[in-house]
Amino acid sequence: MTKNADPFAADRDQLGSALFTPRSVALVGASADPSKLASRPQRVLRKHGFTGTIIPINPARTEINGDRAYPSLASVPEKIDHAFIMVPSAAVPGVIDDCVEAGVKVATIFTAGFAELGEAGRRVQDAMVEKAHQGGVRLIGPNCLGVVNVSGHTVLSANAVLESETLHSGHLSLVSQSGSMMGAIVSRAQTRGLGFSKLVSVGNECDVGVGEIVDCMVDDPATRCIMLFLETFRDAPRLGLAARRAYALGKPVIAFKLGRSAVGRQIATTHTGAIVGADDVANAFFKDNGIIRVETFEALYETAQLVNGFKPPKGKRVSVLTGTGGAAAMVVDRLGLTGIEVVGPTPKIMADLALQNIQVSDAPLIDMPMGRGEGKVYSTIINALMDSEHCDAVVAVQGSTATQNPESVRQRMLAATLGAKPLAIFLAPQADTALRILQDSNVAAFRTPEACADAVRAYCEWQVPTDHPGIDPQVLQSLNTTLQSIVGVPMHEQAAASALSVLGIPFAPSQVIASGAESVALQFPVVAKILSADIPHKTEVGGVVLNIVDAIELRTTVDAMLARITQSNPQAHIEGVLVQSMARGIAEVIVGYRRDPDVGPVVMVGVGGVMAELGGGHAVRLAPLTLAEAHKMIEEVPGFALLRGYRNQPSGDLTALAQVIHQMSLLACVETCVVTEAEINPLLVKSDGVLAVDALLVTAALNKETI
């Protein structure tokens, strides 16, 4: 995307300056009493050397701690770039009106008590945002801890950590949905020698969200790596675009996101997924947009140094060198559990090292006690691994030397070919000095084997942002027309199948009959299914009969079914009975599509039919997707072992399956309505082709809330 084509560029420049480099800051609700929280931002601004104008707003004072105070924003004679609002929640909407009047560019609302408290709070918040939009004021928060520009000496926050800590300037920037975690991350990272450029606590994200902030950070020359501490998604599409821009500029985005477990989702967001768990969707979103996701807390800041300056790897192959077997085994074991390949040295490396009188085996772990050669041997091996194409990252583990002689750790690393590929150092003992020394030498160092393995895994799973395909214009037109005619209409199986057929998905031959008296031109055995948009769960009302062997049996079965269901479900409008030839595949598969409330259109594939309950796994991607990506999804599902040709059995037609996944994903392109949900379950995968035997489709009218 070129700068010219970037629709957000101008807005972003304006927001970024008011956010991070305001020349004047109004502290609305500032207190002169140092024991009050509302007195802190003024002290914090001064402590960190803010050189602009500080304007306390307090009707009871004309001066606070040396700054001229004003009774209201309206009474301030000069222009205000940024207002930091600390008044009680009931007074906030009035202050926003004042901001509009005064032409404030950005208002950061520290005050809590809005959407996070429920529906009433949300209404107040929404009204406030509406007015701010009309008046051209951008809002951060509410319920947030503030905005920090470390190198710009602008620390606009009520956070206790930011009052006490000395902030170190550096190349990391952080966006956090949790205010308190901003302080926790800063205190931990700074202890390790990491410095920051920009920090933003976004709170409720009523207006400016994570995505837009990231987009501003991408433009910050001092920012080389962007870290995200996320609890939910509120502006996923914008975040996706910002992350892709960061990727293009070589600035890695690293995310830690809560909500991996059900209880985690319960407390972090209100949304819970159906078959596609919400966290799989989050993962799909991150991968799709080239975001690196870590799963351990310390890895959030420890990974920055590891990936800085690198692109996604070709493979997932890691070489490990250690001076202490047990410690390295902890890292290797974790890597193995996450599917990363731990590779021993190649014959060439072994031969090259042998020429230098260093003997190593081809075992996955190169165990080289430190005593030998005072570290020179160790550095030589690291260089051999760094220079070789056989691995994508190198892990080096150090034992007691890291405590006994921290300086030697630096020497060894400085002798290494840094920059060829990511190098992660895990230090087994307590070795705070060595950790700091390594960071100061721009080497990624890790405190725990878990964070080390997690960071290396996260790097190995990092992907180039995914390309999404377009749709054939003719197919799109048919889809638009077909779906437009049935928007919002409850659909029975046959209607859904008919609509999905437009995409080219093959359905099993079927025929609808109104009574047993009608004959069918289908091959027996057949299945008979009640056809009614009012009966979504056919099996539960006895609306499915399998394995009907001939016309006589069909007749009695259909009449009995109609009689039974007419009686049990008198309100249901019954369209007839769908009769379908019985078919068998090598395996039954589910292909699903839905518009996820967090990230938008997604497509999934997994083990279908009753076997879905066996836990064979599934794969999820953002839609639409290419055929190649659909093939990758199929590879990810462990339960598809049967399809891949199990024990001399015939294998399934994976090309045809990939085609259906691709076709379903094109529902994201429909322009005349919103496809809320679509599902084929089961799709029979045969050795030659696939056959859909049941379908579901839910549509809704377009509205402005649609992602």
Nearest residue (CB) to its own copies, 39 versus 178: 178
Asked if 44 and 68 touch (Cβ cutoff 8 Å), the reply is no
Our finding on whether 624 is near its own copies (CB under 8 A) is no
Footprint of its own copies on residues 437-466 (CB under 8 A)?
A: 448-451
What's the CA gap between 493 and 694, in Å, rounded? Answer: 6
What's the CA gap between 520 and 526, in Å, rounded? Answer: 10
Q: Which stretch binds its own copies (CB under 8 A): 119-127, 480-488, 546-554, 609-617?
A: 609-617
What's the CA gap between 460 and 451, in Å, rounded? Answer: 14
Between the CA atoms of 173, 177, 183 and 184, what dihedral angle is there, to the nearest 10 degrees? -100
Among 22, 29, 364, 601, binds its own copies (CB under 8 A): 364
CB of 320 to its own copies, least distance (A): 9
Among 124, 327, 413, 620, binds its own copies (CB under 8 A): 327
List, in order, residues 6 or more apart from 496 with CB less than 8 Å away.
678, 695, 696, 697
What's the CA gap between 526 and 10, in Å, rounded? Answer: 63
CB of 77 to its own copies, least distance (A): 35
Footprint of its own copies on residues 640-659 (CB under 8 A)?
A: 641-642, 646-649
- How many residues line the site for its own copies (CB under 8 A)? 81
Among 399, 585, 600, 682, binds its own copies (CB under 8 A): 399
Q: For the stretch 518-546, what's the b/e string if a residue is b when 16 or more beta carbons lie within 10 angstroms of its beta carbon? A: eebebeeebbbbbbbbebeebeebebbbe
For residue 495, the surrounding DSSP H or E stretch is helix 493-501
Asked if 290 and 463 touch (Cβ cutoff 8 Å), the reply is yes
Q: Which stretch binds its own copies (CB under 8 A): 78-86, 242-250, 518-526, 615-623?
A: 615-623
Asked if 180 and 148 touch (Cβ cutoff 8 Å), the reply is no
Q: Which stretch binds its own copies (CB under 8 A): 68-76, 309-317, 323-331, 570-578?
A: 323-331
φ, ψ for residue 530, nearest 5 deg:
-65, 140
User: HSE-up of 55 (CA within 13 Å, CB side)?
Assistant: 24
CB of 481 to its own copies, least distance (A): 37
Nearest residue (CB) to its own copies, 273 versus 600: 273
Nearest residue (CB) to its own copies, 126 versus 362: 362
What's the CA gap between 207 and 128, in Å, rounded? Answer: 10
Among 152, 616, 652, 682, binds its own copies (CB under 8 A): 616
List, in order, residues 6 or more apart from 94 with CB less than 8 Å away.
none
Q: Which stretch binds its own copies (CB under 8 A): 307-315, 361-369, 489-497, 560-568?
A: 361-369
Nearest residue (CB) to its own copies, 569 versus 676: 569
Among 549, 614, 628, 701, binds its own copies (CB under 8 A): 614
Our finding on whether 525 is near its own copies (CB under 8 A) is no
Q: Which stretch binds its own copies (CB under 8 A): 40-48, 155-163, 210-218, 308-316?
A: 155-163
CB of 297 to its own copies, least distance (A): 5
Footprint of its own copies on residues 202-241 (CB under 8 A)?
A: 229, 231
Asked if 279 and 260 touch (Cβ cutoff 8 Å), the reply is yes
Q: Residue 402: name the closest of 416, 412, 393 by CA.
A: 412
Which x/- pattern over 21-40 shows residues binding its own copies (rule: CB under 8 A)?
Answer: ----------------x---
Among 181, 226, 444, 531, binds its own copies (CB under 8 A): 181
Tokens 């790097």: give the residue.
Answer: 459
Q: Which stretch binds its own copies (CB under 8 A): 91-99, 308-316, 516-524, 604-612?
A: 604-612
Our finding on whether 330 is near its own copies (CB under 8 A) is yes
Footprint of its own copies on residues 331-360 (CB under 8 A)?
A: 332-337, 342
Footprint of its own copies on residues 245-304 (CB under 8 A)?
A: 258-264, 266-268, 296-298
DSSP 478: H
CB of 205 to its own copies, least distance (A): 15
Q: Residue 56: name the closest of 87, 12, 89, 35 by CA.
A: 87
What's the CA gap between 630 and 640, in Å, rounded? Answer: 14
Asked if 459 and 306 touch (Cβ cutoff 8 Å), the reply is yes
CB of 614 to its own copies, least distance (A): 4
Among 108, 154, 178, 408, binds its own copies (CB under 8 A): 178
Going by their DSSP bridges, the two strands 82-85 and 106-109 should be labelled as: parallel
Residue 182 amino acid letter:
M
